[in-house]
Amino acid sequence: MESVMDVELRAITKANWRQCINLKPAEAQADFVAPNLFSIAQSKVEPYLLPLAIYHDAEMVGFIMYGRDPDDECYCVARLMIDEHQQARGYGWAAMIQAIKRMKAEPDCREIALSIEPQNTAAQKLYESLGFRKTGEVVEGEVVMRLRW
């Protein structure tokens, strides 16, 4: 796999939100991530969540959402998805690299958390390749992983 794919994280806007809500994971992955429409709506009522579209060569290929949860003051990646037709090309990995870099640049960011469905081995492998490790915590049936440095 070539080095970090060239992806760009862009805001969700009037111009691109419809395309973003039409991005879909594969059928078998449907239980692994909330629909982008739900995530964008959630960011409206939980404004600490930053929803962003993932672009490669000016083409939208996925969606990521992260932020600092005011309840536990922890930075977390709440959503990551790459459209079913764009997967296994390094975009998910590259988008995570960028999001991690942005969060680590925050002075109060000491670790980054996320959670996965126990059967989501593709995501677990991706996150482990980035240094995330399972902590043994389980939240709403999802396995928690943390990146510490």
Interaction site with ligand COA (CB under 6 A): 1, 3-4, 25, 29, 32-33, 80-82, 87-93, 116, 120, 122-123, 125-126, 129
Judged by beta carbon, residue 12 or residue 90, the one nearer ligand COA is 90
- Find the shortest distance in angstroms from Cβ 118 to ligand COA: 11
Region label for 21, one of left (φ > 0), alpha (ψ between -120 and 50) or beta (otherwise): alpha
Hey, is 145 helix, strand or coil?
A: strand
Q: Which of 76, 58, 59 is nearest to 67 (CA)?
A: 76
Taking the mean position of all CA atoms in its chain, how far away is CA 143? 15
Q: Are 74 and 47 in contact (CB under 8 A)?
A: no
Q: Minimal CB distance to ligand COA: which residue? A: 92
Judged by beta carbon, residue 1 or residue 15, the one nearer ligand COA is 1
Strands (E), the chain: 8-11, 50-56, 59-69, 74-82, 111-116, 133-139, 142-148
Judged by beta carbon, residue 1 or residue 139, the one nearer ligand COA is 1
Judged by beta carbon, residue 111 or residue 142, the one nearer ligand COA is 142
- Find the shortest distance in angstroms from Cβ 113 to ligand COA: 12
Residue 67 has, within 13 A of its CA and on its CB side, a CA count of 17
Judged by beta carbon, residue 12 or residue 132, the one nearer ligand COA is 132
- Find the shortest distance in angstroms from Cβ 107 to ligand COA: 27
- Find the shortest distance in angstroms from Cβ 61 to ligand COA: 8
